[in-house]
Amino acid sequence: MGVARLVEHDRDEANPVIVSGVPSSAASSAIDPDQRTWPPLLAGVIAALAAFALSAIVFAIPVFALWLTAAEVGPAWDTWTEVAAITGTAWLAGQGLPVSIGGLTVSLLPWGLAVIPALLLFLAGRWTSRVGDLTRPVHLVIVTLAAVVVYAGLAVGVAIWIDDPSAGLGRVIATTGVLTLVAFGVGSMTGAGLTSSVTSALPGWFTRVISGAVVCVGVLIAAAATAVGVSLIAHAEQTHRLLMSLAPDLAGFIAIIVLSLGYLPVLIGWAVSYLLGIGFIVSSGATISPFSSASETALPVFPLLGAIPESPPVGAAALPVIGLIAGVLGGYTLKRRGAGGWSFLAEVAGMVGVATAALWALLAASSGSLGTGLLANIGPIIGPTLGVAALLWGVGSLIIVIPVLAAGPADPDFVAVDRSTTPAARFGTDDLAGNNDQVGSQHQQEGRLHGEHHP
């Protein structure tokens, strides 16, 4: 009798009962009372606190390194409290907020450094998916809103503590809130595996418009980044000369490198305006564009600005064609994802509108001041750049739209199918191939029973 029980027990362990697609052993472990998950509200609060603390440490390290290695320090660096206040200023600048330095408001910031808090918030969001009970979209809303409130509230506390009126509390809340909403929200959603649940609830036209807008803006950014990289290589000697003219020590050299990396996205924003033929302002009244020269312009002494060409390169007048190509690719993206008929025009209009808004955000973040006088207002010329970009995107999209409309309505017997919802996309090509093989084998067996031969 005992042997029979052992055999039955081994059979159960080798072939666990499947209930609702989950093995009984896994189901029992999933409901184990000893393995408790955190409520979404608590998980969001703890994650936001951790992201804030880690980002503060990251920005504090170079500040304290400069304080410890500097040969001489000014009166603002006398005490730990003052150094901590400078760290708070650096932390706010790293969030993309204007700050006051030496009585001057600096609004053109190295917002490329915002990738640091964004990455930490993203990782914090993914952490909540492991410790929190995030099984439904409503849980994502709760955990993300908790993180937004805590992180934005801490940012307000830092701004009040350092007593810097440059940004204003409203802008502090808006900037850090949006940063947390996007980075933390995406992290928690992807970590919980709810991306498909969220995106599948969106209408098809909306996802097509967003995809087309991403292509339009992405092509310009990719071309601008390439142009910046090529220009930095081509003007390496001038960049090195500007760096050596500052005569930095080791700590200063590290600070310049960090600032240069932070300002790279700003330079890419300038390059976008340059590629579209409008250009940007580098000092009061001096505009750099494919149709003007920088040889007579007094540039600030900063190594990264050595990449600005003194004269337009050969063929610079044809650079706006890149915007036209971006529009063609955006329109093709809409068509490939199922856009058609007269609604195609409406989706193109929506795509251009969304892309223009995204480009405005990039250009606005790449504009501002570095003090007074010649540096009071520098950056892309936003209005004309947006107008040219929207025009080129629209014209480029029409190159795809017009042939579709000219072809007339589609065959009524043909039904356009979204590629993402086809059986091959849902179950995988290999699974379908396996099913086809099974069906073929079944037909061959039936044929043998009837005396038929199937090759």
Q: What is the pLDDT of residues 369-416, one digit of tens each?
A: 876 666 778 889 999 999 999 999 999 999 999 998 887 665 443 344
CA distance 93 to 262: 10
Residues 144 and 287 in one domain: no
> pLDDT class for 297, splitting at 50, 70, 90?
low
**77 and 149 co-located in one domain:** yes
Claim to verify: residue 158 and residue 229 sit in the same structural domain: no
Of 156, 172, 200, the one marking the end of a domain is 200
Tokens of 223: 């071309």
Whether the Cβ atoms of residue 347 and residue 334 lie closer than 8 Å to each other: yes
DSSP-derived secondary structure letter, 291: T
Residue 108 lies in a domain: yes
The confidence score (pLDDT) of residue 75 equals 56
Residues 257 and 387 in one domain: yes
Q: Is the pLDDT of residue 454 over 80?
A: no
Q: For residue 215, what pLDDT is reported?
A: 96
Question: DSSP for 322-383?
Answer: HHHHHHHHHHHHHHHTT--TTHHHHHHHHHHHHHHHHHHHHHHHT-B-SSSGGGSSBEE-HH
Are 317 and 209 within one domain? yes
Alpha-carbon span 417 to 431, nearest angstrom: 20
Mean pLDDT, range 184-199, rounded to an integer: 86
Q: 24: which 2 tokens?
A: 């009984």
Q: What is the pLDDT of residue 171?
A: 87
State residue 73's pLDDT score. 57
Dist CA 327 CA 212 (whole Å): 9
Contact (Cβ atoms closer than 8 angstroms) between residue 263 and residue 304: yes
Residue 35 located in a structural domain: no
On whether residue 359 sits in a domain, the answer given is yes
Assess if residue 8 is contained within a domain.
no
Q: What is residue 251's predicted lDDT score, i.e. its pLDDT?
A: 66
Residue 305 is assigned to a structural domain of this protein: yes
Residue 21: predicted pLDDT: 39
Better pLDDT: 196 or 278:
278
DSSP-assigned letter for residue 264: H
Domain of residue 348 covers: 204-406
431 has a pLDDT exceeding 70 = no
Q: Percent of the chain beyond pLDDT 90?
A: 35
* pLDDT at position 246 over 90: no
| Pick from 104, 96, 431, 393: nearest CA to 265 | 96
Q: What is the pLDDT of residue 294?
A: 64
Q: Select from 200, 234, 267 the last residue of a domain.
A: 200
Q: Which of 200, 224, 243 is the last residue of a domain?
A: 200
At residue 29 the predicted structure's pLDDT band, cuts being 50, 70 and 90, is very low
Q: Is the pLDDT of residue 44 over 50?
A: yes
Residue type, 30: A
Q: 434 and 345 in one domain?
A: no
Residues 318 and 194 in one domain: no
User: What is the model's pLDDT at position 217?
Assistant: 96
Are 107 and 92 within one domain? Answer: yes
Could you report the per-residue pLDDT of 92-106, keeping only the tens digit for each?
Answer: 888 888 877 666 677
Query: Nearest Cα to 363, choosing from 376, 343, 374, 378?
Result: 378
Q: What is the pLDDT of residue 199?
A: 78
The more confident residue out of 244 and 371 is: 244
Instruction: Kindly give the residue spans of alpha helices, DSSP state H, lying in 235-249.
Output: 236-245
**Euclidean distance between CA atoms 114 and 85, whole angstroms:** 19
Look at residues 372, 382, 371, 374 and name the one whose alpha carbon lies nearest to residue 109.
371
Can you tell me the mean pLDDT for 66-76?
A: 64
Q: Which residue has the higher pLDDT, 131 or 21?
A: 131
User: CB count, 10 Å around CB of 194?
Assistant: 18
Model pLDDT, residue 267: 92
Confidence of residue 16 (pLDDT cuts 50, 70, 90): very low
Residue 25 lies in a domain: no
If asked whether residues 166 and 264 sit together in one domain, one would say no
Shared-domain flag, residues 82 and 211: no
300: tokens are 């600030």
Q: How many domains does the chain have?
A: 3
**Strand blocks (E) in 192-326:** 280-283, 286-288
Stated as kind and residue range, the H or E segment containing 124 is helix 115-131
In a domain, 271, yes or no: yes
Total residues found in the chain within this entry: 455
Does the residue 412 lie in any domain? Answer: no
12: its two tokens: 């159960």
Query: Terminal CA-to-CA distance of the chain, rounded, Å?
Result: 55
The residue among 451 and 407 whose pLDDT is bigger is 407
- Which range has highest mean pLDDT (314-323, 399-408, 419-428)? 314-323
Question: Which residues, other chains included, contact 291 with Cβ-Cβ below 8 Å and sequence gap of 6+?
Answer: 277, 279, 312, 316, 317
Same domain, 227 and 356: yes
Residues 195 and 209 in one domain: no
